[in-house]
Amino acid sequence: MPLATLLTDFGTADGYVAEMKGVLLTGAPGAQLVDISHDIPAQDVEFARLSFARYWRRFPVGTVHLVVVDPDVGTARKALAIESDGRYAVGPDNGVLSPAMLHPGARAVVLDVPPAAAPTFHGRDVFAPAAVRLLQREALETLGTPCSDVALLRTREAQRRPDGGQDGVVLAADRFGNLITNLTARGEGTVEVAGKRVRLSRTYADVTEGELLALVGSHGLIEVAVRGGNAARALGVGRGTPVTLRRDGGAA
């Protein structure tokens, strides 16, 4: 069964997602559609990129991923279709598809934009029709012109400290208010953020309700959280805030 996923910042209060699904199911009636999320913060390409990175390779080979977070829709930015590790990704050339494009062996084509396409809704008029063709098992090369010059975004790496720790930043705050950082760790240590210092825990339940903690999330990155609360709101911080991991015995 052909499988397509959808990740957008459209929300579900309006009919935008439904219009895209109508195009997909009209062109590929047997397709299975999986809603990843339509609650990406409006026009937040970086948050969408981080979200896409988490799931795209967890779906079966042949899956077509639509990622439509597109603040520059209707401009000269390219529209892309990518084949990577046996999966496909369709979306704007603004870096949101970087996780797939950076995988070894990835190939991209620039999609033609039909003259009748609404300049404000390429999700419906450009990306969904391209996804239909991929769901119908058309070859990537038939969809457009090969392209190697695409926009790429990479997660900023934390800087190593002489004491064995790291200096990094907050990458994003998730819907729970957990602060996801670019710090990585195994073992013990202390995390500093917004003037607070907190030891690494293994699970959220290692601290009492309302207490600040740091732990390694399922993505392998350190996150700062409040058990039963919202760390982003409690600390008044967000993306770009400096964070430091100090190993036991590291200088303050």
Q: Same structural domain for residues 165 and 143?
A: no
Q: Give 34's contacts (C-beta < 8 A, 6+ positions apart).
A: 3, 4, 5, 6, 59
Is residue 49 a part of any domain in this protein? yes
Res 139: pLDDT: 97
Per the CB < 8 A criterion, the answer to whether 94 and 70 are in contact is yes
Q: Same structural domain for residues 122 and 52?
A: yes
Is residue 153 a part of any domain in this protein? no
Per the CB < 8 A criterion, the answer to whether 200 and 186 are in contact is no
Per the CB < 8 A criterion, the answer to whether 182 and 171 are in contact is yes
DSSP for 193-205 reads ETTEEEEEESSGG
Burial code (b: 16+ CB inside 10 Å, e: under 16) for 56-69 equals beebeeebbbbbbb
Q: Same structural domain for residues 124 and 234?
A: no
Q: What is the pTM of this model?
A: 0.89
Minimal CA–CA distance to 51: which of 172, 168, 136, 156? 172
**CATH at residue 90:** 3.40.50.10790
Q: Same structural domain for residues 130 and 51?
A: yes
Q: Same structural domain for residues 42 and 116?
A: yes
Q: Same structural domain for residues 59 and 135?
A: yes
**CATH at residue 184:** 2.40.30.90
Q: Are strands 144-147 and 159-160 parallel, antiparallel or unpaired?
A: unpaired
Is residue 127 a part of any domain in this protein? yes
pLDDT in tens, the chain (252 residues): 899 999 999 999 999 999 999 999 999 999 999 999 999 999 999 999 999 999 999 999 999 999 999 999 999 999 999 999 999 999 999 999 999 999 999 999 999 999 999 999 999 999 999 999 999 999 999 999 999 999 999 998 999 998 889 999 999 999 999 999 999 987 789 999 999 999 999 999 999 999 999 999 988 999 999 999 999 999 999 999 999 999 864 433
Q: Same structural domain for residues 55 and 129?
A: yes
* Burial of residue 124 (number of CB atoms within 10 Å: 0-12, 13-18, 19+): buried
Is residue 183 a part of any domain in this protein? yes
Q: Give 139's contacts (C-beta < 8 A, 6+ positions apart).
A: none
Q: Same structural domain for residues 8 and 133?
A: yes
Which of 147, 181, 197 terminates a domain? The answer is: 147
Write out the residue range of the structural domain in which residue 70 sits.
3-147
Q: Same structural domain for residues 31 and 69?
A: yes
Res 251: pLDDT: 38
Q: Same structural domain for residues 115 and 203?
A: no
Q: Same structural domain for residues 9 and 102?
A: yes
Domain count, the chain: 2
Q: Same structural domain for residues 167 and 108?
A: no
> In this structure, what are the phi and psi dihedrals at residue 131, rounded to the nearest 5 degrees?
-65, -40
Q: What are the start-end ranges of the H helices in 56-138? A: 98-101, 122, 128-135
Beta strands in 183-251 (DSSP E): 190-193, 196-201, 212-216, 222-226, 242-246
What is the distance between the alpha carbons of residues 144 and 88, in angstroms, rounded to a whole number?
A: 14
| DSSP structure class, residue 184 | -
Is residue 85 a part of any domain in this protein? yes
Is residue 252 a part of any domain in this protein? no
